[in-house]
Structure 1
Amino acid sequence: MIFVNETTCPASWTVGYQRDGRERLIVVVKGTYTLPENGEPTVLATQQQALVEADQFIGEPGYSAPLWETDYAHCKTACDVLLLGSAHAPGQRAALRVQVGLQVGAMTKRFDVTGPRVWHRRLGTSVMAASAPAAFERLPIHYGTAFGGVDRSEEKRTGRVDTFLPNPAGRGFARHPASLDGQLLPFTSEHGKPVTQAEARYTPMAFSPIGRNWLPRSRFAGTYDQQWIDNTAPCWPDDFDDRYFQAAPPDQIIAFPRAPLDVRLSNLTPDGDRRFTIPHRPMPVTFIPYQGRDVERDALLDTIVLEPDEARYTLTWRSVLPLGKSIFDVREVIVGERSRAARMTQRFAGKPWYPSLADAVRALDRRKGSRS
């Protein structure tokens, strides 16, 4: 298969599987844009970020918070909005607590970020208490600094490990609060609901991807039991849900954008308040089969990743073509604009091509006239 990229953005393809086991062709395009100052337009960045080939993590893969997911998801049912960055104290003056906010179109999410604190045992008791927060100018925000974690305090004695399934990569969770002595508290928490009690459970707050095996995402993965092994593997199980491919927290998933999106970042940049607009950019993809008509469609914008600390953001478009038999049905894929005339001229090299029957008749008449 010939793959032609007519854009200045990285683009590639992969093959996935439909529910019935037939193949589907997935085309992915990723554009990197500058994150502008207030009032300035956003432009395509000179240096484009490469497509992510495999999941990337803050630390040890599978045990730490996800940072990037592969760009080769088989499909998405909506658009993920993600942010990788830090909380910044207003005016770059050290603060004990700040509220951060992300607004993209109609989607709004806010939560509190508190300076570093440590669990300690109250003198003469077994009760755990949080220290006073230290002032900060900037703190990282991801699920590794949110509430969650794994309690291994009983592992040696009983073999039991307790896990906070909505965020195993976080901090602050403990089945046995005494095990928290000396450990850091989460930086993030729901607005107005600070983490203060060692035995309580809190909602993890971050803007970054959630793990594939975390709740609620893992519920969409389907059932991989003996019946699946015997009758269905390697295809998806019958109860697999395509929502599994969504990497964003549920409150950061929006409908596929069909127009420009207004963005506002609150205390996520040193200037405290940043506003700009993500432009709407059609991303045409043309599938040219060996037999039959060309399939022309606009790829869907299904992933937005904001990186304020890097002064950039990326947009990822995806187009999925179900295949009747296999990838060998497709002769060529074109990403970006190329006129139909140019495609046909290349496809049928050495043969004249006409956009309509009327044009063909006129050309034939001219040829007859020249002969007479």
Structure 2
Amino acid sequence: MENFVNLTAFPALLFDSLDQHDHGFSTVVARLSYDLDIKSGELVFCEDQGELVEQDSYFAEQGRSSVRFESDLVPYKPRMDVAINATAWAPEDKPVKSFTAGVQVGDFTRLIKINGPREWRKMIATWQLSESQPITSLDLCYEYAAGGFYSSEGEKIIASPANSVGMGWYPPEVLKNLKVQRLTAPQIEWPTQPIQKIDQQSSPAGFGFFGRGWQGRIELAGRYDEKWRKDRHPLLPQDFNFAYWNGAHPLMQFPLPEPLKSVPVTLRYFISSREIENQQIHLQVPVESLFVFITTEKGAGVAKDMVLDTLVIDLNERKVHCSYRTVISELMEPVMTELRFIKAEQRQQQLDLAARLNSHSAEPQFVPLPPSLLAKLQQVKTNG
């Protein structure tokens, strides 16, 4: 492993990995945290940047509750995860049987339907949903989406392959042992995919981190069969897909943002009207100028932009957490990797300094620039 120097105020780590073809690479990951002003949408760096999330953390019991933060120790993500930890609030905080809340990330809109408490009621030949009771607010977590986990006296475990922490999903093998006429039903669903059957298998509705072993994600991990045990263990199966490392709900995974731009986010009905009258929150999440500068065994210097691939909006704590990542192939033969950061208000100053110093071969000083800023410098030279 090459030497790693963190020249920033953010928690960061370099670690080694192998891909599904046994090619080696290093990953640098850093986590940036902001305090969120919910009224203005302003983001300010937290004084205490905390630490990397090195293992999944849960809202309650591990394995039986939703993941609050998924581990940052991920080799690579091909898309940007957006996760929202929040409470959904009815319009004007007035009790209603159901309401729709939503988020817009760039040009993408995602809506979710919140229902008040409701039941499955046994009829002669089927189970039917009751009307919802009025509700004012509900925590936005997969515990209220369709799913479930059951264990029998014989210790047989039956879990929803789509959402093992959910509610209101009852397969035939569970129903046959229940001598009741009413059962709790899911309260969170997609407006376009309403829950209609008591044993319906569907992707759970939610904006939080998606279970590693759930349908829709676990398939990407590849086949760990007898052939793998015989020929590959403990290496990755060759049909492993790095999209497995994307931890947000599949509907909350988006194209990676461009360097030096921002990610516009609008949240609706995830805040009480007592705090914001129209119950909307608008924010622009900046893509910071965070980069690595790599010195190779042959003495070459290579800069790479870090990529924003995980955005967690924690409205409960009024925080926004951004994880950045980049990979370094072992073929580069790196011996030293430095993590560097240029504040937005200092970018032009760094560009000017680099233009003055880096163009003279006799100049002993050198100003590393990430490719995103270097492109701006080259553009200035071309235009002027």
TM over 0.5: yes
CA contact (8 A) 1:146 1:171 kept: yes
Please report how far the alpha carbon of residue 64 of structure 1 lies from its aligned counterpart in structure 2 after TM superposition.
3.1
Indicate the SS of the match to 2:15.
Answer: strand
User: Of residues 323, 327, 330 in structure 1, which corresponds to 2:330?
Assistant: 323
Please report how far the alpha carbon of residue 132 of structure 1 lies from its aligned counterpart in structure 2 after TM superposition.
4.1
Indicate the SS of the match to 2:92.
Answer: helix
CA contact (8 A) 1:22 1:325 kept: no
Q: One-letter code of the match for 2:210?
A: I
Shift in CA distance, 201/75, structure 1 to aligned 2, threshold 3 Å:
closer
Please report how far the alpha carbon of residue 204 of structure 1 lies from its aligned counterpart in structure 2 after TM superposition.
1.6
Please report how far the alpha carbon of residue 251 of structure 1 lies from its aligned counterpart in structure 2 after TM superposition.
1.4
Q: Name the residue aligned to 2:312.
A: 305
Q: One-letter code of the match for 1:145?
A: Y
Please report how far the alpha carbon of residue 359 of structure 1 lies from its aligned counterpart in structure 2 after TM superposition.
4.5
CA contact (8 A) 1:22 1:324 kept: no
7-16 vs 37-46, which moves further: 37-46
For the aligned residue pairs, the C-alpha RMSD in angstroms reads 2.9
Q: Name the residue aligned to 2:338.
A: 333
Shift in CA distance, 41/229, structure 1 to aligned 2, threshold 3 Å:
same
CA contact (8 A) 1:18 1:322 kept: no
**2:162 matches 1:166:** yes
Please report how far the alpha carbon of residue 264 of structure 1 lies from its aligned counterpart in structure 2 after TM superposition.
0.7
CA contact (8 A) 1:221 1:244 kept: yes
1:2-25 Cα offsets, whole Å, 9 max, x none, are 433232222222221133434321
Q: Name the residue aligned to 1:145.
A: 144
Q: Name the residue aligned to 1:282.
A: 289
1:329-364 Cα offsets, whole Å, 9 max, x none, are 5234333259xxxxxxxxxxxxxx99743558xxxx
Q: Name the residue aligned to 2:264.
A: 262
Please report how far the alpha carbon of residue 102 of structure 1 lies from its aligned counterpart in structure 2 after TM superposition.
0.9
1:60-79 aligned within 5 A: 60-79=61-80
Q: One-letter code of the match for 1:305?
A: V
Please report how far the alpha carbon of residue 221 of structure 1 lies from its aligned counterpart in structure 2 after TM superposition.
0.5
**2:301 matches 1:294:** yes
90-99 vs 268-277, which moves further: 90-99
Q: One-letter code of the match for 2:65?
A: S
Please report how far the alpha carbon of residue 48 of structure 1 lies from its aligned counterpart in structure 2 after TM superposition.
2.3
Indicate the SS of the match to 2:74.
Answer: coil
Q: One-letter code of the match for 1:175?
A: P
CA contact (8 A) 2:41 2:284 kept: no
Shift in CA distance, 286/183, structure 1 to aligned 2, threshold 3 Å:
farther
Indicate the SS of the match to 2:316.
Answer: helix
1:293-341 Cα offsets, whole Å, 9 max, x none, are 1221101100011112221211110011121398xx5234333259xxx
Shift in CA distance, 209/72, structure 1 to aligned 2, threshold 3 Å:
same
CA contact (8 A) 1:148 1:172 kept: yes
Please report how far the alpha carbon of residue 241 of structure 1 lies from its aligned counterpart in structure 2 after TM superposition.
0.7
Distance 1:359 1:96 in 2: 71
CA contact (8 A) 2:148 2:168 kept: yes
Please report how far the alpha carbon of residue 31 of structure 1 lies from its aligned counterpart in structure 2 after TM superposition.
0.9
TM-score by length of 1: 0.81
Q: Name the residue aligned to 1:209.
A: 209
CA contact (8 A) 1:33 1:43 kept: yes
Structure 2, unaligned runs of 5 or more:
344-356, 365-384
1:120-179 Cα offsets, whole Å, 9 max, x none, are 546xx5754445433333211111211112355xx457x765443121221111123464
CA contact (8 A) 1:174 1:198 kept: yes
Q: Name the residue aligned to 1:84.
A: 85
CA contact (8 A) 1:12 1:29 kept: yes
CA contact (8 A) 2:98 2:116 kept: yes
Q: What percentage of residue pairs aligned between the two structures are identical?
A: 24
1:46-88 Cα offsets, whole Å, 9 max, x none, are 3324211111223333343322210010101111111111111
TM-score by length of 2: 0.79
Indicate the SS of the match to 1:43.
Answer: strand
Distance 1:131 1:40 in 2: 39
1:82-120 Cα offsets, whole Å, 9 max, x none, are 111111122233333221101111221101101223445
Q: Name the residue aligned to 1:346.
A: none
Indicate the SS of the match to 1:310.
Answer: coil
Indicate the SS of the match to 1:61.
Answer: coil
1:84-103 aligned within 5 A: 84-103=85-104
Indicate the SS of the match to 2:5.
Answer: strand
Indicate the SS of the match to 1:102.
Answer: strand
Distance 2:195 2:23 in 1: 49
Please report how far the alpha carbon of residue 194 of structure 1 lies from its aligned counterpart in structure 2 after TM superposition.
4.6
Distance 1:337 1:197 in 2: 54
Structure 1, unaligned runs of 5 or more:
339-352, 361-372
Distance 1:200 1:24 in 2: 42
Q: One-letter code of the match for 1:315?
A: C
Shift in CA distance, 6/331, structure 1 to aligned 2, threshold 3 Å:
closer
Q: One-letter code of the match for 1:19?
A: Q
Q: Name the residue aligned to 1:43.
A: 44
CA contact (8 A) 1:98 1:267 kept: no
271-280 vs 191-200, which moves further: 191-200
Q: Name the residue aligned to 1:52.
A: 53
CA contact (8 A) 2:162 2:202 kept: no
CA contact (8 A) 1:5 1:334 kept: yes
Distance 2:219 2:280 in 1: 37
